[in-house]
Amino acid sequence: MPMSKKLAAEFIGTFWLVLGGCGSAVLAAAFPELGIGFAGVALAFGLTVLTMAYAIGHISGCHLNPAVTLGLWAGGRHPVGEVVPYIVVQVLGAIAGAFMLYMIASGKPGFELGGFASNGYGEHSPGGYSLASGFLTEVVMTLMFVLIILGATDKRAPAGFAPIAIGLALTLIHLISIPVTNTSVNPARSTGPALIVGGWALAQLWLFWVGPIFGALIAGYVYRWLGSSK
């Protein structure tokens, strides 16, 4: 597959992840009468990955996430020469998704930006969780997410079911960690909304790069050992 098509697929997929996942939080969860709540947002994020995995998985692998790309590289499943280009287009896709969401959301009379689905800790954590709790959550949740991706896409795993396992895993991760950090496990997903919000969101963005990447690298090396037949 030509590199240009892989990168285009990653851009489109990450755009959809942010527009669909963060959009559910900004446009729907803000209205209690719609009834989606945290569970609905969690499901929306899972559905974005599940749908894109079937749509573009055969083109780019459907990473949609710099941490996933680095985790797959650490697990010996992604070439080092494609790591940086993948991460660049994932971040650009997330930014485009966030700006599209802003353009839609700001069309409502009386629109207020608020947190705009940004990730945070301390006073910006939905449940008031500390920096330490946020960091631990992001590391562990990303570690488990990447382990599931590596296992579900292993050539020895049942064919055709990986997108379902991965989408459900991301849903479960959100159900656990939305109260702690508003759930990142994806540096690109965190960067798009943070650029819209600015201020505190940009100041706290470092955690949502460092934590997920650290967890993903651990997962890659662990699965390289765990999945080995030796």
What's the pLDDT tens digit per position in 140-170?
Answer: 999 999 999 999 999 888 878 999 999 999 9
User: What φ, ψ does residue 70 adopt, rounded to 5°?
Assistant: -70, -35
CA–CA separation, 154 vs 95, rounded Å?
31
What pLDDT score does 34 carry? 65
| Below-70 pLDDT ranges, the chain | 30, 32-35, 229
Asked if residue 84 lies in contact with residue 93, where contact means CB atoms within 8 angstroms, the answer is no
Q: Which domains does the chain have, with CATH numbers?
A: 3-226 (1.20.1080.10)
Task: Write down the pTM of the prediction.
Answer: 0.94
pLDDT at 33: 66
